[in-house]
Amino acid sequence: MVRAMAPRFPTQFADLLTPKGRRILEGRDSETCGALLDPTRPFIALQGVIDVKKATQVRDMLDVAMRDTLVTMEDPIPEDSISGMVENYTEALPKTVRVRTALLESRRSRSWRAAEALGLVALLRSDTFAGFAAAVSGRALKRGWGIQTLCYSPGDYTGPHTDHHPEEDDARHGYVDMHVSLTLPAVDHQYLVYAKDGHFSELTKVSTVGGVTVYRLPFWHYTTPLVAKKAREETARRWVLLGTFLDAGPKTRASSTILPSGARLPVQGTTVGRGMEAGRR
Ligand SMILES: [Fe+2]
């Protein structure tokens, strides 16, 4: 029996890029390349680097193929966080979250099978996906990066947190995250709020179609609840494609290293160690 091939994603992240996006990937955009080497700049939001028409196609394919495979990830405010408090002004809030995720760590999961059939796994594992993160962060990154897909629906959010991993040798001095936002038209807004000079004073809209955000973690941040346009809650979703990259260190083999375009070994990168599983959010 001959079955029509389902449409698939491009196999390389580079195929989604605009001329501006390609310039960044190729290390030819001095404003953006290496932007995150500046220690006062933990985060950059890029628009116009992914072709909006292609992003829209990818978003719609993702929404059809993956929507029913998602698993809710929920850590509410601890029930005893108020009743259990005995001293004034001692409240402490652990990371709270409600979002749905596609489990891409296990090949047996429904999400992985759907993502593989779609070409999502290949796209997130493509050299140019990591190459783009290396270019913007200005660092040599290790192969074997973590991948994840999230989906925010109305009221989904992530509370204040740092994404610090002090127990992991290869992450405790910092690491790089890259997110691609694919937002459906029924979404009104969602923001990332982050700290500057010790206050949650900075805000950037993340409910974009093809916007790329790159982070040098850890730093304090949170994602505001997604808000739908009036009476359009049913189809208001924001998909996020994520990669989590560890620094390549002096002892990382060249074959296990993704260099920013134009860079030669050794480049900036301070830690060596094991790979880190995805699953951070
Ligand atoms: Fe985070």
pLDDT tens digits, one per residue of 108-159 = 888 999 999 999 999 999 999 999 999 999 999 999 999 999 999 999 999 9
In a domain, 264, yes or no: no
- Banded pLDDT at 272 (limits 50, 70, 90): very low
Mean pLDDT of 233-254: 95
Q: How far is the CA of 239 from the centre of ligand 1 (A)?
A: 15
Q: Give the distance (Å) from ligand 1 centre to CA of residue 39.
A: 18
The CA 265 to ligand 1 mean position distance, Å, reads: 30
- 182-225 pLDDT, tens digit per residue, is 999 999 999 999 999 999 999 999 999 999 999 999 999 999 99
- Count of the separate structural domains present in the chain: 1
Residue 7, pLDDT above cutoff 80: no
pLDDT higher at 254 or 267: 254
22 within some domain:
no
pLDDT computed for residue 277 by the predictor: 38
* The pLDDT of residue 253 is above 70: yes
Higher-scoring residue by pLDDT: 223, 278: 223
Bridge partners, 242 (sequence order): 148, 179
Q: Which residues of 115-130 are buried (b: 16+ CB within 10 A; e: fewer)?
A: beebbbbbbbbbebbb
Better-scored residue on pLDDT, 261 or 161 = 161
Structure tokens at 97: 């979250």
Determine the distance separating the centroid of ligand 1 and the alpha carbon of 65, expressed in angstroms.
Answer: 25
Output the average pLDDT for the chain.
91
The whole domain housing 45 covers: 34-74+95-258
Q: Give tens-digit pLDDT for 70-86.
A: 999 999 999 999 999 99
pLDDT for res 103:
82
Structure token pair of residue 65: 């193929």
* Cis before 94 (ω within 30): no
pLDDT score, position 4: 58
Instruction: Quote the ligand 1 centre to 38 CA distance (angstroms).
Output: 20
Name every residue whose Cβ is closer than 8 Å to that of residue 44 and which is 6 or more positions away in sequence.
32, 35, 36, 136, 213, 214
Q: Ligand 1 centroid to 5 CA: how many Å?
A: 36
**First vs last Cα of the chain: how many Å apart?**
42
On whether residue 112 sits in a domain, the answer given is: yes
**Other Cβ atoms closer than 10 A to 150:** 22
Q: What percent of the chain is predicted at pLDDT more than 90?
A: 84
Distance 163 CA to ligand 1 centre (A): 5
Q: Ligand 1 centre and the CA of 221: distance in Å? A: 7
Write down the pLDDT at residue 108.
Answer: 87
Please name the helix (run of DSSP H) or strand (run of DSSP E) that holds residue 113, with its range, or none: helix 110-118
DSSP state, residue 247? B
Residue 34: Cβ-neighbour burial (10 angstroms; 0-12, 13-18, 19+):
buried
**Separation of CA 3 and ligand 1 centre (Å):** 41
C-alpha torsion sign, points 184, 216, 43, 214? negative
Please give the structure tokens belonging to residue 259.
Answer: 């260099």
User: For residue 187, how far is its CA from the centre of ligand 1 (angstroms)?
Assistant: 21
Flag whether 24 is in a domain.
Answer: no
Closest to 63 in 3D by CA, of 229, 205, 227, 187 = 187
CA of residue 162 to ligand 1 center, whole Å: 6
What pLDDT is stored for residue 183 in this prediction? 98
CATH number, domain of 64, equals 2.60.120.620
Torsion of CA 57, 62, 67, 72, to 10 degrees: -130
pLDDT at 278: 37
Establish if 14 belongs to a structural domain: no
pTM of the shown model: 0.91
Task: Decide if 213 is inside a domain.
Answer: yes
**Does any domain span residue 114?**
yes
Task: Assess if residue 247 is contained within a domain.
Answer: yes
281 pLDDT more than 90: no
pLDDT of res. 275 = 36
CA-nearest of 190, 18, 180 to 98 is 190
What percentage of residues in the chain have a pLDDT greater than 70? 91
- Residue 77 CA to ligand 1 center (angstroms) comes to 17
218 upstream amide cis, omega within 30 of 0: yes
